[in-house]
Amino acid sequence: MRQPVPLTVLLLVVAAVRAATAQQPVPDAPLQARYLGVADRLIDSALADSVAWQRMARITDSFGPRLAGSEGLSRALEFILAEMRRDGLENVRGEPAMVPHWVRGEESAELIEPRRSPLPMLGLGGSVATPRGGITAEVLVVSSFEELERRAAEARGRIVLFDVPWQGYGRTVEYRFGGAIAAARAGAVAALLRSVTPNAMRTLHTGAMGYDTAVARIPFAALTVEDAAMLHRMQERGERVVVRLAMAARTLPDAPSQNVVGEIVGAERPDEVVVIGGHTDSWDVGTGAMDDMGGVVVAWEAVRLMRRLGLRPRRTVRVVGWVNEENGVRGGLAYRDAHRDRLAGHVLAIESDGGVFRPTGFGFSGSDSALAVVRQIGGLLRRIGADTVTRGGGGVDIGPIAELGVPAMGLNTDGVRYFWYHHGTADTADKLDPREMAQCVAAMAVMAYVVADLPERLPRN
């Protein structure tokens, strides 16, 4: 049963609500009301077909792996530029970038003791070769950098294997970046790494690794989760474990490449830009469908849809396929350098590089007032469940311009499966779902379009 509310209490409540509302920098309703119609058109048209998925599958099937410096990458980039022109995108162009050129060459590993068996292996990107005929040495298995430090005396002249349990990508990948350095510091002749993945299906996962000029450059390769665990068990039983590792990897001179760019030019403020995209390169195994041709195509399709629906926002929306994210970020750096004088006009940069699975929203790095605005835009994506905008986000390729003050955003997706396939042979088109990709297109299209069209520019700090 309700009690009658005294008038004074009612007035106090009204005043409190007014005060709370006044603290919000931009009221919700007008933005959402203004853009609801156009957002629904973009979403409907993104969900109407599977053009994005077909395009991702076509490119990854036709050109295969696209490591920086490879023929597959060069041909894919020319194809993308031709297709962007065919779509009617504006100012389609390649912007030059020099990229590293690492070539894997032949490689193998074999367990010699306590029993002979081939060991599936995958060299890590940037590794040096072994001498011809390989390196045969006793293995020291450790679970962490700390354990290696404790047992450094045992590492000299050996192959150090880091059998590090998955603790999330950010923490575990430190062993890929730093493993060869730590092992060399302890006097090891080569290093091995349990593949950086949460999923043990005897798959191999490569990725960038680091060297330090202060210590020797030793060869470094990944083993499967299963084999790393087996070698570890053998050591714990007191068995002598001997492995032969042979790698013929080479680093060639830097190669010319390009970022691929297309636009829909802004109707009122063409020099103000919302830049969206992903990276075109991949590792040299798998076809880089998830990482990251899916991300490139989703951004590209978002712009194509705007054009097809006759939507020309106030500001320019530019799609960029950055090159060489995987082992150099030269594309992201070249973009920063080529556009340095025009970065003040960059309103927002959005990258999709987490796999185009079911989208949940975006992560945003920028001012509080801008966050409030993009959260309202996120609300337009509620019907596809992509309406959560969290604080903090961006991408490796947009990192260099974010450092110079451009607000940055990353597309967030349901990433459960991402690291099952990441940097491995199983990163292929079938891992992505046409419907989920279409939802990612919708999310990118609505966010990019509305930010580009807002009457007031998205505030910086």
Active-site residues: which are they? 325
- Residue number with CB closer to Zn ion (163 or 292): 292
Q: How far is the CB of 381 from Zn ion (least distance, A)?
A: 23
Q: How far is the CB of 173 from Zn ion (least distance, A)?
A: 13
Distance CA 322, CA 291 (A): 12
List interacting residues with Zn ion (CB under 5 A).
291-292, 353
- Residue 377, token pair as written in the block: 């835009």
Q: Under a CB-based contact definition with an 8 Å cutoff, are residues 291 and 429 in contact? A: no
Strand partners, 361: 388, 412
Q: How far is the CB of 65 from Zn ion (least distance, A)?
A: 13
Rg, C-alpha atoms of the chain: 25
Backbone phi, then psi, for 448, in 5-degree steps?
-65, -45
Q: How far is the CB of 86 from Zn ion (least distance, A)?
A: 26
Query: What SS3 string covers 209-227?
Result: CCCCCCCCCCCEEEECHHH
- Residue 456, token pair as written in the block: 């007031």
Q: How far is the CB of 313 from Zn ion (least distance, A)?
A: 27
DSSP string covering 215-274, please? S----EEEE-HHHHHHHHHHHHTT---EEEEEE--EEEEEEEEEEEEEEE--SSEEEEEE
Distances (CA, A) of 68 to 5, 126, 295, 298: 71, 12, 17, 21
Tell me the HSE value of 47 on the side-chain side, using a 13 A CA sphere. 15
Distance CA 39, CA 51 (A): 19
Q: Under a CB-based contact definition with an 8 Å cutoff, are residues 245 and 31 in contact? A: no
- Residue number with CB closer to Zn ion (322 or 364): 322
Backbone phi, then psi, for 135, in 5-degree steps?
-115, 125
CA 27, chain centre distance (Å)? 33
- Residue number with CB closer to Zn ion (291 or 301): 291
- Residue number with CB closer to Zn ion (418 or 449): 418
- Residue number with CB closer to Zn ion (295 or 313): 295
- Residue number with CB closer to Zn ion (264 or 289): 289
β 269-279/250-264 pair status: unpaired
Q: How far is the CB of 247 from Zn ion (least distance, A)?
A: 24
